[in-house]
Amino acid sequence: MAEFSFTTEQQELRAAVRKFCADNFDEPTVRTLMESDVTYDPAVWLRLGSELGVLGMSVPEADGGVGGSLVDQAVAVEEFGAALGCGPLFGTVYLAIPALVACGSGPTRDELLAALVEGERTAAFAVNDSAGGFDPNVTITAAGSGDAAVLTGTAARVVDATAADVILVAAKGSDGVSLYAVDAAAVRRTPLVTMDLTRPQADVIFSDSPARLLAGPADAERVITHALQVGAALLAVEAVGAAQHMLDLSVEYSKSRLQFGRHIGSFQAIKHRLADMLVDLEHARSTAYHAVWALTDGTDDPELAVSIAQAVCSAAFSRIAADSIQVHGGIGFTWEHQAHLYFKRAATDAALLGSAESRRARVAELVLDSATVDEPPPVAVGIA
Amino acid sequence: MTTAFDADQVAKIALEVVAEHDPKQVPLPEFLGACYDAGLAWVHFPEGLGGLGTSRGLQAVADDILQGAGGPVPLGLNPMGYGMAAPTVREHAQTDEIKKFFLRPLATTEDIWCQLFSEPGAGSDLAGLATSAVLDGDDWVINGQKVWTSLAHKARWGLLLARTDVDTPKHKGLTYFILDMHAPGVETRPLRQMTGQAEFNEVYITDARIPDSHRLGAVGDGWRVAMTTLMNERSALGASGSRRGAGTISEAVQLWASRPDLHTPVLRDRLTTLWLRAEAQRLTSERSRASATAGGPGPEGSIGKMVGAELNQRIYEFCMDLLGPEGILYHGYAMHGTHRDGDWRGPIQQRYLRSRANTIEGGTSEVMRNILGERVLGLPGDLRADAGMPWKDVPRG
């Protein structure tokens, strides 16, 4: 499975997911769902899991998955990104399922993982991150131990919490930070109005909420770190899919829109902007899939690969979405045009799981601060 | 041979070459000649013409072994030869005998090549060039002036694009030739550039003669042939090192690491942004290689050329801003005697000045963006004032 080489099966998977999205996540449907109380269609979600099998593609067969790879999952996610596919992808597919895969086997974990993969249940990941990495400053507290634990505290701005059946949450007990599963019925949720209506959030309030242990203090950091890395890689891939859609839309528009008696794409001011968008998109695609491959076969340090991908993809998607509005002119600023949906998704993706700036800071630590002087270039000192 | 050579077979051939012609022991032409004869010069070329008729992706397999044993990077020794002339000759020369006549000495670097395209009056609008070729018996008689010709003073052969018809629109009146740089009437003069050096030349051509057998492609088909050359040039210019952190960015990181006294948080973030751009382009080249077929470089090579050129400039600008007042000194503008090659290992200030050419040479970044827009994204072409006009009627100046 050489890096950047997609198999025939993966190409077929891409086509199948694209068709499913065209049938189920067309623009009118996305708009209807994003403005309704339940922001996704549970029946369609169930089909994604049980029919297409694209919610937990890298889950091992022994855990009820199809035993594919993270590359497969990424191919599907890229198409979801292009369509702004509705449903708790971020909470369930990007974060909760990878976290559960990394947890040791046990009744709670096995039963929940199988239900999430099948699309029968959904999850949100109420774990704070620090610039996309594990954050040891956990404010939610756990009392009691094991499956008798109860949690108290508030998790703010939890993506997909409104749609979740189960909340995965990090809480601090007397022995350290553990990862728990809490039924949504046992918490209070305050839905928040999000800028991107297709990616809802809620504050989640735990109040002596019964919790089941997924990973104890010895494992929780490893499990959460793994989930955050996989989640960041998939979020980067989602941005690539969405950015590609925006570029396609902008290219089509500039081939059809006439001003001054010419297609606007014939003007270099437009053409060169689109060329720059293409370069940013191709760069984003390369870094996102490199991160996916690094997490798949360990050919690169996952933390560095994911940080590179997040830094590049967040910036690229934001720029491409903004430039798409500019290329479209006035129509691109209207509610009726879809550009704003993607612009808002770009702003959201850029802020989630570490900003481009915080990721750049991490890259600087990993690359620049450790650089040793081997062969500095000569500097002229004014002597001929 | 109907089955293509696979990686193992290519590796085996390369190991045999280095075993029988140790590049650390034998003269360079012998080693490179052995590579050519074994089909390792360009593995995707046909057998007998320096290739094995296999996928060009396998070139890396051969190069790793040949260069790992101490062999040179041939592209660096004969850049126009290996990067541009070879694919053009291979595709368009009139007979296999002519191809062999040119390709083997090209491969051994006994014959250095140069490219005679740009003219004082034809830069980005290359197809508007004015150098004329007039048929006289079995020869073509050439008159005109070329410019920005690197290695002309060392070259034995030049890839020449000349006008054979002034009454048709500009693209249709061009024909492609190989010019003997030693022929009477070919005069090469150094062209001094802003770094103080002269890595390029002007070439004045007065009644120089070219046999018709050294014509590449049909009369009037020169533009299409030239595209073979240019696509390969851009692909070669855009190819970046496959190792993370290699290339120009390594110079900035090395300078940064060697001068902790000059560190600021703002400069650190700026260098990180440049490093990320270089890394994203490196990965894109890798991805492009993974999906490349034996068909040759496509327009996506323009991404690498354009990004590499602009990144070079930004990296050297960073180096200058890091150095501050130390950076505005120089090592002198003497012409360094007869040594007229660009000194890529010169001081950082010279590299900074040299990088201004990166977004002009081999296709300006503006032309690159047109190519990406029109050939990759399928956008309509710009309006052209000379569309359909006979070349002789096009305003020039």
Which of A271, A275, A379 is the closest to B348 by Cβ? Answer: A379
> Which residues fall within 8 angstroms of residue B100, CB to CB, at 6 or more apart?
B48, B49
Average pLDDT score over chain A: 96
Q: How far is A67 from chain B (nearest CA, A)?
A: 25
Q: Quote the CA–CA distance of B221 and A10 in Å, as a whole number.
A: 42
How far does chain A reach from its first CA to its final CA, in angstroms?
A: 54
Q: What is the pLDDT of residue A66?
A: 84
Distance of CA B231 to the CA centre of its chain: 9
In 3D space, the residue among B312, B315, B395, B316 whose CA is nearest the CA of residue B361 turns out to be B312
In 3D space, the residue among B156, B206, B159 whose CA is nearest the CA of residue B184 turns out to be B206
Give the rounded percent of residues in chain B with a pLDDT score beyond 90: 80
Contact A278 B377 (CB under 8 A): yes
Q: How many CB pairs under 8 A join A and B?
A: 167
User: Are B322 and B267 spatial neighbours (Cβ–Cβ below 8 Å)?
Assistant: yes
Contact B275 A368 (CB under 8 A): yes
| ipTM of the prediction | 0.96
Return the C-alpha torsion angle A23, A26, A32, A34, nearest 10.
110
Distance of CA B164 to the CA centre of its chain: 25
For the stretch A159-170, pLDDT in tens is 999 999 999 999
Contact B276 A289 (CB under 8 A): no
Return the C-alpha torsion angle B85, B88, B92, B98, nearest 10.
30
Residue A141 DSSP symbol: E
Contact B257 A381 (CB under 8 A): no
Contact A378 B345 (CB under 8 A): yes
For the stretch A235-283, pLDDT in tens is 999 999 999 999 999 999 999 999 999 999 999 999 999 999 999 999 9
pLDDT higher than 60, residue B1? no
Q: What is the pLDDT of residue B294?
A: 39
Domains and CATH numbers, chain B: 7-108 (1.10.540), 113-226 (2.40.110.10), 228-376 (1.20.140.10)
Q: Quote the CA–CA distance of B373 and B25 in Å, as a whole number.
A: 49
Q: What is the pLDDT of residue A148?
A: 85
For the stretch B192-209, pLDDT in tens is 999 998 889 999 999 999
Q: What is the pLDDT of residue B337?
A: 44
User: Going by DSSP bridges, is the β-strand pair B113-116/B157-163 parallel, antiparallel, or unpaired?
Assistant: parallel
Q: What is the pLDDT of residue A53?
A: 96
Which residues of chain A make contact with B331, given a CB cutoff of 8 A? 380-384
Give the rounded percent of residues in chain A with a pLDDT score beyond 90: 94
Catalytic annotation present for B233: yes
Using 50, 70 and 90 to split pLDDT, how confident is the model at B239? low
Which residues of chain B make contact with A361, given a CB cutoff of 8 A? 269, 272
Helix (H, G, I), strand (E, B) or coil at B51: strand
| Exposed / middle / buried, residue A258 (Cβ in 10 Å: 0-12, 13-18, 19+) | exposed
Q: What is the pLDDT of residue A255?
A: 98
Look at the block and give the residue holding tokens 């060697």. Answer: B258
User: Going by DSSP bridges, is the β-strand pair B215-216/B174-180 parallel, antiparallel, or unpaired?
Assistant: antiparallel
Q: What is the pLDDT of residue A181?
A: 97
Domains and CATH numbers, chain A: 222-368 (1.20.140.10)
Q: Active site residue: B119, B199, B233, B300, which one?
A: B233
pLDDT higher than 70, residue A337? yes
Question: Which residue from B minimizes the CA distance to A367?
Answer: B272
Which residues of chain A make contact with B374, given a CB cutoff of 8 A? 271
Which of B255, B286, B374 is the closest to A376 by Cβ? Answer: B255
pLDDT higher than 60, residue A12? yes
Contact A364 B251 (CB under 8 A): no
**Is residue A43 less than 8 Å (CB to CB) from chain B?**
no
Residue A198 Rama label (left phi>0; alpha psi -120 to 50; beta): alpha
For the stretch B107-163, pLDDT in tens is 999 999 999 999 999 999 999 999 999 999 999 999 999 999 999 999 999 999 999
Residues B151-154: contacts with CB within 8 Å, 24+ apart? B151/B79, B151/B80, B151/B112, B151/B113, B151/B114, B152/B114, B152/B116, B152/B181, B152/B188, B152/B200, B152/B201, B152/B203, B153/B188, B153/B190, B153/B201, B153/B340, B154/B112, B154/B114
Residue B392 DSSP symbol: G
pLDDT higher than 50, residue A86? yes
Q: What is the pLDDT of residue B302?
A: 74
pLDDT higher than 70, residue A157? yes
Site from B249, B255, B283 to mutate, A interface, most A CB atoms within 10 angstroms: B283
Give the rounded percent of residues in chain A with a pLDDT score beyond 70: 100
Q: Quote the CA–CA distance of A167 and A126 in Å, as a whole number.
A: 6
For the stretch A339-366, pLDDT in tens is 999 999 999 999 999 999 999 999 999 9
Q: Residue A306 has which token pair?
A: 């994911």
Which of B284, B290, B369 is the closest to A2 by Cβ? Answer: B290
Mark which residues 232-261 of A lie under 8 Å from B by CB.
251, 254-255
How many CA atoms are closer than 13 Å to the CA of A303, on its beta-carbon side?
Answer: 14
Residue B390 DSSP symbol: B
In 3D space, the residue among A195, A124, A119 whose CA is nearest the CA of residue A158 turns out to be A124
**Is residue A368 less than 8 Å (CB to CB) from chain B?**
yes
Phi, psi at residue A295, to the nearest 5°? Answer: -75, -20
In 3D space, the residue among A352, A336, A328 whose CA is nearest the CA of residue A257 turns out to be A328
The identity of residue A209, as a single letter, is: S
| Exposed / middle / buried, residue A213 (Cβ in 10 Å: 0-12, 13-18, 19+) | buried
Question: Which residue from B minimizes the CA distance to A258?
Answer: B380
Phi, psi at residue B82, to the nearest 5°? Answer: -70, -45
Q: Quote the CA–CA distance of A348 and A345 in Å, as a whole number.
A: 5
User: Are B157 and B179 spatial neighbours (Cβ–Cβ below 8 Å)?
Assistant: yes
| Exposed / middle / buried, residue A23 (Cβ in 10 Å: 0-12, 13-18, 19+) | exposed
Q: Quote the CA–CA distance of A280 and B18 in Å, as a whole number.
A: 42
Residue-level length of chain B: 397
pLDDT higher than 80, residue B4? no
Which of B254, B329, B370 is the closest to A375 by Cβ? Answer: B254
Using 50, 70 and 90 to split pLDDT, how confident is the model at B315? very high
Q: Residue B355 has which token pair?
A: 């990088």
Q: Quote the CA–CA distance of B128 and B347 in Å, as a whole number.
A: 38
In 3D space, the residue among B166, B172, B229, B177 whose CA is nearest the CA of residue B205 turns out to be B177
Least confident of A53-67, A70-84, A314-328, B166-180: A53-67
Q: Quote the CA–CA distance of B292 and A144 in Å, as a whole number.
A: 59
Which residues of chain A make contact with B286, given a CB cutoff of 8 A? 3-4, 286
How many CA atoms are closer than 13 Å to the CA of A53, on its beta-carbon side?
Answer: 13
Mark which residues 285-344 of A lie under 8 Å from B by CB.
285-287, 289-290, 308, 311-312
Contact A379 B347 (CB under 8 A): yes
In 3D space, the residue among A241, A249, A256, A236 whose CA is nearest the CA of residue A324 turns out to be A249
pLDDT higher than 80, residue A144? yes
Contact B307 A5 (CB under 8 A): no
How far does chain B reach from its first CA to its final CA, in angstroms?
A: 54
For the stretch A177-212, pLDDT in tens is 999 999 999 999 999 999 999 999 999 999 999 999
Distance of CA A9 to the CA centre of its chain: 23
Contact B280 A283 (CB under 8 A): yes
Question: Which residue from A minimizes the CA distance to B336?
Answer: A384
Q: Quote the CA–CA distance of A266 and A272 in Å, as a whole number.
A: 10
Q: What is the pLDDT of residue B300?
A: 63
Which of A270, A290, A360 is the closest to B283 by Cβ? Answer: A290
User: Are B117 and B162 spatial neighbours (Cβ–Cβ below 8 Å)?
Assistant: no
Site from A250, A283, A320 to mutate, B interface, most B CB atoms within 10 angstroms: A283
In 3D space, the residue among A128, A366, A173, A346 whose CA is nearest the CA of residue A245 turns out to be A346
Contact A278 B303 (CB under 8 A): yes
Which residues of chain A make contact with B253, given a CB cutoff of 8 A? 367-368, 371
| Exposed / middle / buried, residue B123 (Cβ in 10 Å: 0-12, 13-18, 19+) | middle
Question: Which residue from B minimizes the CA distance to A279?
Answer: B303
In the predicted model, what is the mean pLDDT of residues B69-93? 94
**Is residue A229 less than 8 Å (CB to CB) from chain B?**
no
In 3D space, the residue among A94, A92, A90, A80 whose CA is nearest the CA of residue A20 turns out to be A80
Q: What is the pLDDT of residue B2?
A: 46
Q: What is the pLDDT of residue B286?
A: 87
For the stretch B164-181, pLDDT in tens is 999 999 999 999 999 999
